[in-house]
């Protein structure tokens, strides 16, 4: 068994996510406590009790998802469950870097708090949208987006074969969705997001984020962390601050990231955090892989049994 940890990004959130984990594990309660002290906000109350509109604000969403992922990770560490490789989708890459000891707990909380604020506050004026396009080749999505001359729309997330998310002005995204349906898309689903994420329209946010990133120490990971930007591992020579700032304005190469990990022998993918979206992407890349998602007490206990081979010992 060669394990890869994968961490979800914005869009996986839901009110109450992780509450049973918080109640069941002292380690997770401690993560929420420490994160709340650093951030100056009650992250447990925000995640478990807030109205959906409040939790879905980018500045809150990113903090809530990160904290849940780090709490689960702490329990896995208690059982000495560690990955051979790790990666995350956009926001999730910060959790992966923490997992790889490239960034410490205080700094990852601080930088994600700042990242969420910048991505919310420095969105240019206008109506923006993102949509998931299912059932078309990447090149077809790219070509159709280029034909939309009224406004701005581009591919933003390459999630898995047959699924690309597009991002841009709301009217342009709608035009692209209609054209993509005509081109044979099985489904076009508008996403619950609040900005033109992973496009050039967030350059102002990316520039401000880089200044914040330069204030913190980011080391070369002690285990391989695969970048969203180019689906390659971080190296000692990488300008890590520049790479993480560029995330905001460049497409997420998640499909290639998973394909790289598979090529390195990873056969067991563990999604750590809310939802099951990433394991769904992995299954579409290779249905024969073992995929485990951890988002509640039952799934965490099951994962511990599988990943520590306790189940085999009991047979």
Active site residues per annotation: 90, 198
What's the rounded Cα separation, in Å, for the pair 90 and 251? 9
Residue 305: which residues within 8 A CB-CB, separation 6 or more? 311
Length of the chain: 315
Question: Is-contact 40 312, C-beta < 8 A?
Answer: no
**DSSP letter string over 23-91?**
HH-HHHHHHHHHHHHHHTS-HHHHHHHS-HHHHTSHHHHHHHHHHHHHHHHHHHHHTT---SEEEESTT
Residue 170: which residues within 8 A CB-CB, separation 6 or more? 126, 127, 128, 129
Enter the DSSP assignment of 98: H
What's the rounded Cα separation, in Å, for the pair 138 and 52? 33
Give percent helix, percent strand, percent coil of the chain, each to the nearest 5. Answer: 50, 15, 35
Tokens of 248: 């905001």
Residue 66: which residues within 8 A CB-CB, separation 6 or more? 35, 91, 94, 95, 108, 109, 112
What's the rounded Cα separation, in Å, for the pair 267 and 159? 18
Enter the DSSP assignment of 120: H
Q: 3-state DSSP call for residue 266?
A: coil
């Amino acid at each position: 068994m060669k394990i890869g940890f994968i961490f979800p990004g914005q869009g996986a959130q839901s009110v109450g996510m992780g509450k049973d984990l918080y109640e069941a594990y002292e380690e997770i309660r401690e993560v929420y406590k420490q994160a709340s002290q650093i951030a100056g906000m009650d992250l447990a109350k925000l995640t478990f009790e807030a109205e959906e509109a409040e939790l879905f604000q980018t500045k809150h969403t990113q903090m809530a998802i990160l904290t849940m992922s780090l709490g689960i990770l702490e329990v896995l560490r208690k059982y000495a469950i560690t990955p051979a490789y790790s990666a995350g989708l956009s926001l999730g890459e910060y959790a992966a870097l923490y997992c790889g000891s490239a960034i410490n707990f205080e700094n990852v909380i601080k930088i994600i708090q700042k990242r969420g604020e910048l991505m919310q506050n420095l969105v240019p004026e206008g109506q923006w949208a993102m949509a998931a396009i299912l059932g078309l080749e990447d090149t077809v999505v790219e070509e159709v987006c280029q034909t939309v001359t009224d406004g701005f729309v581009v591919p933003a997330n390459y999630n898995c074969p047959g699924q690309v998310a597009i991002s841009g002005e709301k009217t342009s995204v709608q035009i692209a969705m209609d054209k993509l349906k005509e081109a044979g898309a099985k489904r076009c689903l508008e996403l619950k997001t609040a900005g033109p994420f992973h496009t050039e329209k967030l350059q102002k946010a990316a520039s401000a984020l880089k200044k914040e990133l330069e204030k913190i120490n980011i080391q070369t990971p002690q285990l391989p962390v695969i970048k969203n930007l180019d689906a390659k591992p971080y190296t000692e020579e990488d300008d890590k601050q520049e790479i993480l700032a560029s995330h905001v304005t460049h497409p997420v190469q998640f499909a290639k990231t998973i394909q790289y990990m598979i090529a390195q022998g990873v056969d067991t993918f563990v999604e750590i955090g809310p939802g099951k979206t990433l394991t769904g992407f992995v299954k579409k890349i290779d249905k024969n892989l073992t995929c485990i998602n951890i988002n509640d007490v039952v799934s965490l206990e099951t994962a511990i049994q599988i990943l520590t081979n306790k189940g085999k010992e009991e047979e």
